[in-house]
Amino acid sequence: MIPRRELLFQLLEVMRLEDLLGRPAFNGHDQREATDIIDVAYSLAEREFLSCAALLDREEPRIEDGRVVMPEATSQALRAYGEASFGALAFSEQQGGLGLPFVLAQGCSAVFASANVSLLSYAMLTQGAARLIAEFGTEPQRRRYLVPMLAGQWFGTMCLSESHAGSSLADLRTAAQPRADGRYSIKGEKMWISGGEHELTENIVHLVLARIPGGPPGVKGVSLFIVPRRLVGSSGEITDDNGVGLIGLNHKMGWRGHVNTALSFGATGECIGELVGLEHHGLPYMFQMMNEARIAVGLCAASIACAGYRYSLDYARERRQGRAVGDRDPLAPQIPIILHADVRRMLIAQKALAEGALSLTLYCARLVDDIATATSDESRERLQLLLDLLTPIAKSWPAEFALEANKLAMQVLGGAGYTRDHPVERWYRDNRLNLIHEGTHGIHALDLLGRKVARQGGRALRVFAAKVEATVKQGLELGELEGECRALASGMRGLAMTTRRLVSSIDAGDPERGLANATLYLDAFGHIAVAWRWLAQACVARRVLLADRSAGEAERAYYEGKIATCRYFFRYELPTIAPKLTLLARLDDLTLRFRDEAF
């Protein structure tokens, strides 16, 4: 699991949670309450989530007599999570929540994800669905659905994909026929629905994208519907089944404790849905849940990498093998493998990737709170642009590079890392799915380069550059970080120049060539963003070391470790963007010119 000290550093010192709690929107809550909540999260995660992680991975969901069966530990853990109100943390008190910051809720989610990501995903989806209903639903819809969802009595899903369409939402076929009572008859099939069918809760609230006849083609003709597994009366009571059928289960290489389904709507009886918001506006509504889920996926990836790092670190301290280089005495005692140079390399690389990814995703969560509490429209718009820009990076960079960290964790354990005697092989399998969850690496690369960086004439990139510049200025003022500051400033200039070159090509009518290497662009941008977050962490650590000379040895070692890991990232990781930026600036189109027959 993520060490408590690390999470408190990120939330209290880097994200400045106390300053956030001082805002009127969070009136009545303080830092002591927040740390108490974090402590409860650790206790619950260890007792209920971590204890059954291997069991849920081993005993996957199965169908018996038409129903999905899972180990009893699944419902027990999720019931405890709901009773502790973790699903309601970041919702306002008017919505039935606790009115706490989103970044605190995400920090707690990181704890649960590092313990058992399969279980947490039920809660993450439910919270995202509830937030969408809270934002775009009618008052009767909010009244009927929010309270049981936030209490964990009902779960939620998002139903987008169809087997013939995949990520191409313009090709959706699920239909919504208007009824005389103002509701809609839903008919179609959905694929890859996480949490789509189970007996864990009284009801499942599906959010379904479908087409109303006569709407425009493509994504502009998609509407959004609340489609409960069991119908809900006007007072919130559950009535009849709602024609949602289970076609089958998908068995994935990771997240095995989380049921994934193919569902039918309207095949086993009439399926009734309630329109959310306006007709043909479903995709913009759904994007709120999708973007929240994207940050959550990145957070899960970072959390799993942190778990792998800590486990392999403990293993390296205990496992004895070999002797120091130059010691040729076969009778000399073996040494802990942490003393071997290559093991140390793998450990610090994990720390750099995992804690860098964690800091980036928590920063995005902090932006959600900053947007919600902004005191002016101009400030809110600027922050939203920054969050929109960082969202594809916060989802994809951790998914890609946290997986690399988990690979190194397995390598530290050697042959034992590939066995089920240790959890590192499970974490690797779990993390591999995050490159697909909520959009592939390539899709987010196209979104970043093709849409986000060019929006409003590149304003979002300028907002990001200003944030980077402010952190560089802080680092220069603190001293001892001058090399890192210069390297980040140089990398930011290179990214800006390459971006202008690519956007100009796209605007000039050559989008295929300009976007041909979008994934390289995302990776390079991600390295800049994570280097920025590492410099921010190092600045905090440097400031503490300068201010508190009386800090104990363990505390000084912790902060010095932050600065050393920052230096590692800048020496070993950040320089890898140079060849990427060079290739991008040349508008290399080898992949486009590669003949089909040559494959």
What distance in Å separates the CA atoms of residue 448 and residue 454, rounded to the nearest whole number?
9
Which pairing describes strands 184-194 and 272-275: parallel, antiparallel, or unpaired?
antiparallel
Show Cβ contacts of residue 218 under 8 Å, excluding neighbours closer than 6 positions. 170
What count of other Cβ atoms lies within 10 Å of the Cβ of residue 593?
A: 9
DSSP assignments along 155-199, one per residue? EEEEE---TTTTT-GGG---EEEE-TTS-EEEEEEEEEEET-S-S
- Collapsing DSSP states into helix, strand and coil, what is residue 319? coil
| 389 in Cβ contact with 464 (< 8 Å) | yes
- Non-local CB neighbours of 498 within 8 Å, separated by 6+ positions: 521, 524, 581, 584, 585
- Segment holding 261, helix H or strand E: strand 260-265
Is 60 among the residues known to form the active site? no
Pairing of strands 203-211, 154-159: parallel
* Structure tokens belonging to residue 302: 């970072």
Q: Are 297 and 113 in contact (CB under 8 A)?
A: no
User: Using the 8-state DSSP alphabet, how is residue 10 labeled?
Assistant: I
CB 412 within 8 A of CB 468: no
* Interstrand relation of 175-178 and 184-194 (parallel, antiparallel or unpaired): antiparallel
Question: Hey, what are 516's tokens?
Answer: 């041909």
Integer angstrom CA distances of residue 266 from 189, 196, 231, 248: 9, 15, 13, 16
Phi, psi of 244 (to 5 degrees): -95, 115
The one catalytic residue among 189, 438, 484, 573:
438
Question: Are 10 and 299 contacting, i.e. CB atoms less than 8 angstroms apart?
Answer: no
| Active site amino acids | 438
